[in-house]
Structure formats: structure tokens, C-alpha cells
Amino acid sequence: MSLRVLPTRERVYDEAVSDSAPSVTPSRSLFIGAISVLALSVPFFIFGLVFMNVKARIEFQCQRGGPCSLTRIGLLTREEPITFTMEEMQSARVERDRSPRGEQQNIYRPVLVTTRGEFPLSHHWVAEEREANRAVISINQFLKRPGTPGFTMWHDDRPRASRMGIMFTVAAVLVLLFGLWLTWRAVRRRRQERAQSTVPGV
């Protein structure tokens, strides 16, 4: 018994076979992404400015016979000076505390004692008692001898206090540049879409 194989019809494709076109992100999606990224840069800028403007430079200035003024200064702005008369200033002392790193080590900070309260003369604590004691000795000598010539002292911790602000600001700039790049892409894509819509048969 013989088997017969029926011939099959040849398949003919009416259209040419081509690779699928690469996907293109619509301009609307690009605009939404760009706006989101640009909005994200705003809090980074805010935190950056806040941390950069920490009043970490403290200036203490006395005139012969008084008064004395204390000024806190940041990288961007400064506070109004606080003025003390000779009668208001009582003394200066060194404040001691433990290191927050868990080490068995003291840290120090000079403090001005007045009838209005105590005012630190440095933003950060220092590791050396001798460094904090220099300001205390100068102020106490000035208070004991009213005829002592005036002087100016300062403690500037702005570079250390502003590190976090610089990091936030750099991150804000990078995010902003990325958002502007997305905006540029969205504008280009919108132009392409408009050009394609004006071509007949599209």
C-alpha cells in the first residue's frame, strides 16, 4: 500500500518583513519626567542653603571701657550684633563635655556669662582646653581692668559646618542639570511630533 503526500500551497507574504521600529518616548512623558526632576532639585537647594548659612563664625569685639558685641555670621548672611555693657558681662568660663564619639575624652568651648544668660563663643566644641581657655583669659582680664585696650576675637567653624550644605548644593545642581536635559529632549521630541503630523498620509 503506497502513501500519497498532497502538495502544500506555497505561502506568499503580501507585505515585506521588517524589524519593528524602536520605541520612542512621547514628548508628554518626557515633559512630566522633566518637571518631576526639576521639582526634586528644589528641596536639595533649600537644604543646601540652610546648611551653608549656619552661623558658625562667632566674632566677639570689645572697645576700651566697653561695650562689647557678639556677632554670628554664616556664609550668606549675618545676625544683628548682640551688645553687652560692662555691667551686663560677669565673666567668661570654659564649658566641658564628653566627646559624642563615645571616647573617654573631654571637649571644650568658651562661654561668655552675662546677666542675660550664657553665650557660647565658638560654634563647635574643641578638643584642646588650651585653645578654649585663651579666649576666656582675654575676656576675664578685660573685665578686671576696664582700661585695657579693646580687642577682637573670632572662632570660624563655617568650613566644617557647611560641608553638608555643599553636598546638598552639588546634588541640587546635578539634579537640575538632569532636569534641564530632559526638558531639552522633550522640546526636541515635540518638534518631531509636530513635523510628523504635518506630513501628508501620516
In contact, 68 and 61? CB cutoff 8 Å: yes
pLDDT tens-digit readout, 115-126: 999 999 998 888
DSSP codes, 121-145? S-SS-BS-HHHHHHHHHHHHHHHH-
Residue 89 CB neighbours (<10 A): 22
Alpha-carbon span 9 to 17, nearest angstrom: 20
pLDDT tens-digit readout, 139-195: 999 998 877 888 899 999 888 888 888 899 999 999 999 999 999 998 888 888 888
- Say what the pLDDT of residue 21 is: 47
151 vs 63, 142, 181, CA distance in Å?
7, 9, 53
Question: Mutual orientation of helices 27-52 and 163-198 as an angle, nearest 10°?
Answer: 160
Domain ranges of the chain: 28-51+164-191, 55-161
State the pLDDT confidence band at 129, using cuts at 50, 70 and 90: confident
- Within its chain, how far is the Cα of 24 from the centroid? 37
Side chain identity, residue 126: V
- Say what the pLDDT of residue 124 is: 87
Q: Between these two residues, 198 and 167, which has the higher pLDDT value?
A: 167
Residues 6+ apart with CB under 8 A from 17: none
